[in-house]
Every structure is written in structure tokens, then in C-alpha cells.
Amino acid sequence: MRIVDIIMKKRDGAALTEEELRFFINGYVTGDIPEYQASAWLMAVYFRGMDAVETGLLTRLMMESGVLMDLSDLAGPLVDKHSTGGVGDKTSLILAPLAAACGAQVPMMSGRALGHTGGTLDKLESVKGYTVDATEDDLKRIIARAGYALIGQTAQVVPADRKMYALRDVTATVESIPLITASILSKKLAEGAQSLVFDVKCGSGAFMKTLQNAEILAESLVKTGQAMGRKVIALITAMEEPLGRMVGNFLEVEESWNCLQGGGPDDLMEVTLALCSKMLLTSGLCKGSDEAMDLCLQKIKSGEGADRFRENMIAQGADWQWFLDHVGTWRAPVKVEFKAPRQGIIHEINAYKVGMCALGLGVGRNKADDPVQPHTGLHFLKKRGESVAKGDLLCEVFALNDQDARQALASLEEAFRISPDPMTPEALILKEVGEL
């Protein structure tokens, strides 16, 4: 078997067999297939696509390229959630402790910021001492204490995805539905989750800009996951404006803590509670949507969700007292205010432009090895659909220096659109894909 023949076959639009896919995955992981041929294969898949059988085979073979975690000795159902990425999207930081408080075990392998989207691991590492590097034994220890763990992908888990993800990023093949599906699911299945909930973002701040494309990805994730024996459901949620009021690494951890104490913004809580409810339903902890929602709210009111958050912080090495001392106070040194240039109603806070603004402040990264700033970011005091008078404070900027602050103000001027016309923001939960 020759890799060039496999590339030609996919280039010409034919479906690849399990043997051909295994030959490619094994050869690429071992280094026998060079990156220039792997790049050609990726581009062929990008343009020609894959059918459902191929996508399922690719997912399984990528999953089997490394270590499969065995977490079966943990008490409680294993359930995970994955977001396709957005701006201000800190739902994982809230729903993981909340689901754990409800009886779930959540082994969450998360990612880092890239481009305009934030990364869960970078947010957590803004807290002094918090570590996201963990062995399988560490993972079990953390979950046994807190009910959930938030860790990075290890070198031993799905090495095929580690290599392929980096190559896709520099070969303009990121947006392929089969490749996205296999990348996401291979990691989630390797970590041992029995049920999965996907948050497929849709809008200006998402990778899927249209509802149609978001539906295609959601269907692919759900059908492929179900074909591999997991209970899977997806929610398509709006990402037209930043989720919540904070965009920034420590800022978003702080906002998540406030949410678990009952003080979260309405939009952030709506999406978080919807996703957490689905986690309880897919895992069998609750039988109906009302029961699941009530249980989530109860765990916030009782403080049990916040307790799990604290236990996880300590279990993963964070200095808890340092965190409490810095909530509400730890900000980058230069603070500037963005005020409404005119009277009217906020029609747009473009999530992509806000994400790029945050990137300029050091919240995210352009390249995988770029450093990020822990305490820079944005605090939004107004949201879409709200009335404002000229001069009203719309957003606070926390920057490292005056130049970054000035650039952020210019970016925010482009991100906001204020009009005299009335407007009602679209629903946050756009569609549910999959049946339990």
C-alpha cells in the first residue's frame, strides 16, 4: 500500500477503506509519512469530504492511536461537554462543578486559546498554582475529590490528533467537518466519557458563521458519537456577541465563580444551565428537563456547585486564598473606558471583533507557542438590545500599556453599533440536535 495512492483515491472523491485510513494514521504518527504528503491528504479530505462511515472509522483510528483512559472505577456516570469555541465562553468553568455537584463525574480535556477564541486552560492557569498537566492517576485523584477535572491533552492520548491539528492549522484545512468531528470526538472518547454534550457555536464569533453549517457539524458530531455507542446531544447556541460580561483569562474565572454564587449574567447562565441540564439527562441522572434544571438551580442556591469549584482549584494546585484575595481587584495596570458615542439602542457587539480586540490585549495567541496575559481583558457593562445615552460607559479595558489600550478602544468602536431603531436579540439556544 502506498500513501500516494490513498491521496489520489481521496482526491478523486472515492471513500477510503479502514485499511487505508489505518495505514495513513499509523504512518503519520510514526513519522513514516512526511508532512507534505499528510498535507496533501488533508487538503483532499477538505475538498472531497468523507461519508459517515469514513468519518466514524477515522475517529476510531485516531482515538486508538494512543492511550485509552480507564475511569470505570470512579463512582457516578462519566459525562463531558465540548464547545466549538467562542468569545467570553466560560461555560465549562461553571457547568463542570455544577454537574459534579449533581452527581456526575466530569473528565474534561480542554484546549488553549487560538486566534479570536479563548482557551479554558489559559483561563485556569491565570490562577496562581493551577496546573492542567495530569496523568491518568492524577485525573482519578482530582475527580475523586472534586467530581471533575479540567486538564490538557497529554502526549499519550490521541497523538494522531496532536500532530494533525497542528498541521491543519497551517494548511488551511481547519474548517473540514469530518476532520473537526474526528478531532473532537477522538479526544472525548479516549478520556472515557460515556455521554457527551456539544455546544456548537454559531455566529460572528464562532468558526461556524451560519446556522446551516452549524447544523451540519452538530449532526456529524451526534451521529458519529452515537455510532460509537455513546449518548450524544448537541445544542447550537448563538455567538453574535460575547457571552457574559467578561472577556479575559482571570476575568472569566472570576465571572464563573460569581455565577456559581448566584450572581451570573442572564445570557451566560441561560446557556450554561441548558448545557448542564443536557449533561444530567444524557448521563441518566435526571429523567426530564424540568427536573434537571431544578437540580442545577438547587446546587447553585445551596452553594454545592461553588464548593466543587473550590475543591477542584485546590486539587489542581491552585492557591485558593490567593484567588479569593484577587477576585474583583486583579487587573492589568492601564484602565480605560469606552463610552457610547451617541444615544440609541445597541444593535451589535460583534463577537469576532471583540475577540480580536482581546487578542491585541494579550488574552489569546496568534501562534500555538505565543504567551498569554493573565489579567488583561474587557468588562462589558451593556449588552445588545439595551438603551444607552451618549457618554454612558459601555466597556472597561484593562491593558498592559497605553498603546494596547488605545488600540482596544479603536477596535471597540468598530465592534459596537448603536442605532435609534428598536431591536430584540435573537434566541441564545438556536436548535437542539439529537434525541435521548
Query: How remote is the C-alpha of 397 from its chain's centroid?
Result: 23
Which residues does the annotation mark as catalytic? 82, 161, 168, 183, 187
φ/ψ bin of 31: left (φ > 0), alpha (ψ from -120 to 50), beta (otherwise): left
Q: Give strand ranges (E) for 353-412.
A: 377-380, 387-388, 393-399
CATH fold of 334-419 reads Aldehyde Oxidoreductase; domain 3 (3.90.1170)
The 8 Å CB, 24+ separation contacts for 286-291 are: 286/102
Nearest to 134 by CA among 109, 101, 104, 163: 109
Question: What digits encode the pLDDT tens for the residues 150-163?
Answer: 999 888 899 999 89
pLDDT for the residue 255: 99
Is it the case that residue 270 has pLDDT exceeding 90?
yes
Which comes out higher in pLDDT, residue 390 or 111? 390
- Do residues 63 and 153 lie in contact, with contact meaning Cβ atoms separated by under 8 Å? no
CATH fold of 79-324 reads Pyrimidine Nucleoside Phosphorylase; Chain A, domain 2 (3.40.1030)
3-49 and 334-419: identical CATH topology: no
pLDDT for the residue 227: 94
**What's the average model confidence in pLDDT over 139-155?**
94
Quick one: pLDDT band at residue 407, thresholds 50, 70, 90? very high
The residues that bridge with 81 in the sheet, in sequence order, are 197
DSSP 105: B
Tell me how far CA of residue 367 lies from CA of 112, 115, 165, 169, 319, in angstroms.
11, 8, 13, 9, 29
pTM over 0.75: yes
Is it the case that residue 435 has pLDDT exceeding 90?
no
Q: Which CATH superfamily is domain 3-49 in?
A: Transferase, Pyrimidine Nucleoside Phosphorylase; Chain C (1.20.970.10)
Quick one: pLDDT band at residue 298, thresholds 50, 70, 90? very high
Q: Where are the domains of the chain?
A: 3-49, 79-324, 334-419
Residue type, 90: K
Residue type, 216: I
Question: What digits encode the pLDDT tens for the residues 47-72?
Answer: 999 999 999 999 999 999 999 999 98
Is it the case that residue 113 has pLDDT exceeding 80?
no
pLDDT for the residue 154: 84
